Amino acid sequence: MSNYHFNAIEAKWQKYWAEHKTFQAENTSEKPKYYVLDMFPYPSGAGLHVGHPLGYIASDIYARYKRHQGFNVLHPQGYDSFGLPAEQYAIQTGQHPRKTTEENIARYREQLDKIGFSFDWSREVRTSDPHYYKWTQWIFMQLFDSWYDKASDKARAISELITIFSEEGSGQVKAACDTTVRKFTAQEWNSFSEAIQQKELLKYRLTYLAETEVNWCPELGTVLANDEIVNGVSERGGYPVVRKRMKQWSMRITAYAQRLLDGLESIDWPQPLKDAQTNWIGRSKGASVIFKVKDHNENIEVFTTRPDTIYGVSFMTLAPEHELVPRITSEAQKQAVQDYIEATSKRSERERMADVKTISGVFTGAYVTHPFSGEDIPVWIGDYVLAGYGTGAVMSVPCGDQRDYDFATHFGIPIPNIFKDVDISEEAFSDKENTILTNSDFLNDLSYAEATQRVIEALEKKGAGEGKINYRLRDAVFSRQRYWGEPFPVYYKNGLPQLIDEKHLPLTLPEVEKYLPTEDGEPPLGRAEVWAWDENAGAVVSNDRIDHKTVFPLELNTMPGWAGSSCYMFRYMDPRNDDALASQEAMDYWKCVDLYVGGSEHATGHLLYSRFWVKFLYDRGVLPVQEPFKKLINQGMILGESAYVYRIEGENTFISKGKYSGEKIQPIHADVSFVNLQNELDIEAFKAWRPEFSDADFITEEDGAFKVSREVEKMSKSKYNVVNPDDICAQYGADTLRMYEMFLGPLEQAKPWNTAGITGVHGFLKKLWKLYHSAAGDTFYVSDEQASKESLKTLHKTIKKVQEDIENFSFNTSVSTFMIAVNELTAQQCTSREILEPILGLISPYAPHIAEELWQRLGHGKSISTAPFPTFEASYLVESTKEYPISFNGKMRFTLELPLDLSKDAIEAAVMSHEKTAHYLEGRSPKKVIVVPGKIVNIVG
RNA sequence: GCUCAAGUGGCGGAAUUGGUAGACGCGCUGGAUUCAAAAUCCAGUUCUUUCGGGAGUGUGGGUUCGAUUCCCACCUUGAGUACCA
């Protein structure tokens, strides 16, 4: 009988830690600081499943380890509490999303507390809390008040831009801005009306309002960012997405493309994640080329990575949405072009993606002039050209690009060959490393690199283009047509956006009766009765009083989910500060997150936006760092093992997996709680689950069991494969859950949840308990005798291994190490205090409750979390002799035990003079003896 | 298509400046204890074998005295991205 009463122990210490504020971090300390952060959760209605805590356990182990090592550790937790599910629920039930969110948070907190995390809850933040989103709104205002100066490569105040405009005009300004900016002198600027000036400034601001092509999801009634779309459908719900032009707030993240790329080199992140960001930013080097449209006063600018192939251009292709299309289309082609554009715009994003094989396009009737040869080049429209990339127009070189080649072949456009000794009769030749140009005038006989340089020089001389770097990264759409998000601190005066005064922040969400869009298609905030801005009173006033003189309409959109999560890591540093995002002292002390743990699915969303905002706030002097997360670890997802039962189609009969022989069946999810480890279904429970199953028939195996088939899938409520950590805690305890989740496999790897092995880990904790308790009762026993040499060796090798494991985030292997240690100590009958104390220090990060209990039983007054991490001494690990495996020609034959202090030569001599060696050599003389110090001896015969 | 990651027993997985492959756990087999079960403890468990050994880390090559580890090609799986000019 084990007396390891984990439930009582865990409840006791969780209460103790909370009451003694054991894990509260101070903003000043003699100790060095360490900041460990988890990606904060969205509190969903389904509660936590066993997959959620995986990363939290890993970061908690590391945080506790760092505390043992004498660091002042900041390890906070909070909630990303704005979001769509609470709003969807509100639409269905009318319950305020705030209420739903609060209930979910309470449940999350209860579940998290049971696992024994060392979070400093006094610093909790919630993105939907007005005290928090005040600062989200404040950051938005800073972005609105800034522009990006390419000359100094940083964001600057918009007031400085106004000074430049009014003193020098726009001539010298190099900014990241809209392509539609005007050129003007200082005089002209000063003569502009206020409205025109504001309109012009909007083109420079880092957050700006613009008519843009967005991803509209009609089902959700909102726009989505690129990273919120998966395979052409919405990430949440899987609804279709279409392209639509709308006036939206955007973030000028493209201004930071190069710095976001460069910054990756300075941070310790997993390479796959860095690669994902690199690909998403998509830097490509090439040239922009300007083609003059014949008989029109228009230019078509294209971006190309192959300016060297300029003599291979045989047509131009514009995206159907290209703005020049209506202006240059000839009278004869007008109808055809119109029909084509209409046909393509009807296709959804998904259709277009699925159907990349079909070649379609139409001739505009217009021609451009080749910048060097002066030849006429026909201008086509094709939907293989994307409006959103480059300039939405390409110079088509069919001999060097397969898509151009296919297009040309399809429409019978000539394919001139400009590659020497290359056959292009079957396909395009796109290898740029092995090209020699021909039929290319001044580029003949040049390679890709040489020709590219020459063309760019020539283009720049002519004013027909320039060398250019293009990025795939798009500005991020920042408006959402939702209720449950941060309101913009913006009102509209004469149709132009104005910021409310900072002293009025936060601008809190108004109450609405329904959470749906209004009848005339406005976002839900349009339903608010009190949602207008009085410039004099500086308050939100009734909607009816909007007079457009002193009372103005407020912005009706809200901010997207990533707004609240982009800077939360700084808010934890000083979460109750109402005067600043965080005090300067707090930010200077904590600086940035030292270790960030979370899923890789945020690679091109949160992690990119967050880096962007931090760089921006650094530029504006708000933050002391340029990168928020110094080191990042991606925990892998824990998957569920779904259970399927087979129902014979058209009948209410279920057939066991072993009895299935090709009948037409329909697999149905059964709740995994009805299935045991042998994959046998509890038929009675299943029948009681759903009324339609209550009178079903079951074809079972011979022994009467009904077998289900299992499949590894994402853990989700709808798949009935969710395992609740509460159940595991109740049955085995939080310490077992923590250690088992680590034991499942490498942290970064995705792995299915399977309780099969949990008894092994649980058994280890019982063994540890038993080692220090009398066989009969609950009496704690520890001896004060000196530990044996053997036990000291066990202890010190364990310290060494566990420390290495923690620092390498190989938490799975240290669980094994603990098991070995306890098995050895049990065999040695070691109950020495000298061994137990340091062992507890090692185990405490993994299994804090049992470690704390035994620690206190040893008579300590303070929590074990304040104890120093034990250090190992190499001298305990050293032995006086060592076994040397001897191999012949690489094959192991026997081992020799030799003194430890022998030199390389002495080992060689000892090996060669040994009788066993002589036996294997059988009279041959060895060519070579290889001694690898301390490891192995190899004789090559 | 492109980019990245990973392929080791019945299973999860150990082992990297190249040095006795399969640690640890699960499962399985046998034993002890028990009236019995649970729990616990002990032993065994890569495959093969004529019991000497032989083969073996996705496949085929290469480097090396020696390769799970390094190099090349290929296959498979997973993830991301996708008409990016």
Instruction: Find which of A87-101, A713-727, A770-784 is predicted with most confidence, using mean pLDDT.
Output: A87-101
Task: Protein contacts on strand B: list nucleotides below 7 Å from a Cβ.
Answer: 3-5, 12-15, 19-21, 23-27, 39-42, 65-67, 78-85
- What's the Å distance between residue A436 CA and nucleotide B5 C1'? 37
DSSP state of A503: G
SS3 annotation, A437-467? ECCCHHHCCCCHHHHHHHHHHHHHHHCCEEE
CB environment A646-655: b (16+ within 10 A), e (fewer): bbbeeeeebb
Is residue A624 packed enough to be buried (19+ CB in 10 Å), middle (13-18) or exposed (0-12)?
Answer: middle
- In angstroms, the CA of A891 and the C1' of B55 are apart by 14
Which two structure tokens, joined as six digits, stand for A147? 């522009």
Residue A902 confidence class, pLDDT cut points 50, 70, 90: confident
Tracing tokens 């190989």 back to the chain, one arrives at: A810
- Residue A891: which pLDDT band, with cuts at 50, 70 and 90? low
Residue A1's pLDDT band, with cuts at 50, 70 and 90, is: very low
Q: How confident is the model at residue A112 (pLDDT cuts 50, 70, 90)?
A: very high
CA nearest neighbour of A249 among A474, A477, A473? A477
- The residue written with tokens 């290495």 in the block is A804
pLDDT digits (tens, 9 = 90+) for A799-808: 999 999 999 9
Q: What pLDDT does residue A350 have?
A: 61
Tokens for A474, please give them: 């798009």
How would residue A445 be classed by pLDDT, with cut points 50, 70 and 90? very high
At residue A922, does pLDDT exceed 70?
A: no
**Average pLDDT estimate for A728-748:** 94
Separation between Cα atoms, residue A136 and residue A133, nearest integer Å: 5
CA at A79, C1' at B61: how many angstroms apart? 55
- The C1' atom of B51 and the CA atom of A922 lie apart, in whole Å, by 24
Q: What is the pLDDT of residue A225?
A: 75
CB A516 within 8 A of CB A219: no
Cα A291 to Cα A137, A302, A684, distances in angstroms: 44, 8, 76
- Nucleotide lying nearest to A344, CA to C1' measure: B83
Tens-place pLDDT, residues A459-516? 999 999 999 999 999 899 899 989 999 999 999 998 899 999 999 989 999 999 889 8
Nucleotide showing the shortest C1' distance to residue A278 CA: B3
* DSSP state letters, A599-615: -GGGTTTHHHHHHHHHH
Instruction: Give, in Å, how far the C1' of B79 lies from the CA of A601.
Output: 10
Q: How far is the CA of A677 from the C1' of B6 (A)?
A: 28
Å separating the CA of residue A638 from the C1' of nucleotide B2: 28
Nucleotide nearest to A382 (CA to C1'): B83
Reported as a single tens digit per residue, the pLDDT across A12-33 is 999 999 999 999 999 999 999 9
Residue A2 reports pLDDT greater than 60 = no
Work out the number of other CB atoms within 10 angstroms of the CB of residue A324. 19
A36, HSE (Cβ side, Cα atoms, 13 Å): 23
Measured between alpha carbons, how far is A532 from A542 in angstroms, rounded to an integer? 6
State pLDDT tens for residues A641-663. Answer: 888 888 888 888 898 887 777 77
Residue with tokens 């069946």: A665
In the block, residue with structure tokens 């798949």? A719
- Give distance CA A839 / C1' B25 (Å): 20
Residues A416-423, mean pLDDT to the nearest whole number:
89
pLDDT per residue as tens digits for the range A785-818 = 888 888 998 999 999 999 999 999 999 999 999 9
For B12, which residue's CA is nearest its C1'? Answer: A744
- Is residue A133 helix, strand or coil? helix
- Kindly provide the ipTM of the predicted complex, given to two decimals: 0.94
Q: Say which residue the tokens 């929590």 belong to.
A: A863
The pLDDT tens digits of the residues spanning A577-614 come to 999 999 999 999 999 999 999 999 898 999 999 999 99
Task: Decide if pLDDT at A95 tops 80.
Answer: yes
Spatial CB neighbours of A721, under 8 Å, sequence gap ≥ 6: A640, A641, A642, A643, A669, A672, A713, A715
Peptide bond into A933 cis (omega under 30): no
Nucleotide closest to A383 measured between CA and C1': B83
Measuring from the CA of residue A826 to each C1' atom, give the nucleotide at the shortest distance. Answer: B41
The nucleotide minimizing the C1' distance to residue A819's CA is B24
Beta strand pairing call for A476-477 and A242-251: antiparallel
For the stretch A837-890, pLDDT in tens is 999 999 999 999 999 999 999 999 899 999 999 998 888 887 777 777 777 766
Q: How many Å does it take to go from CA A927 to C1' B50?
A: 35
Can you tell me which residue has its alpha carbon closest to the C1' of nucleotide B25? A760
pLDDT above 70 (res A734):
yes
Check pLDDT > 60 for residue A198.
Answer: yes
Closest nucleotide to residue A391 (Cα to C1')? Answer: B85
Strand, helix or coil at A848?
helix
For chain A, give the mean pLDDT.
89
Give residue A756's pLDDT: 85
CA torsion sign for A299, A301, A307, A311 is negative
At residue A391, does pLDDT exceed 70?
yes
- Does residue A832 contact residue A786 with C-beta atoms inside 8 Å? yes
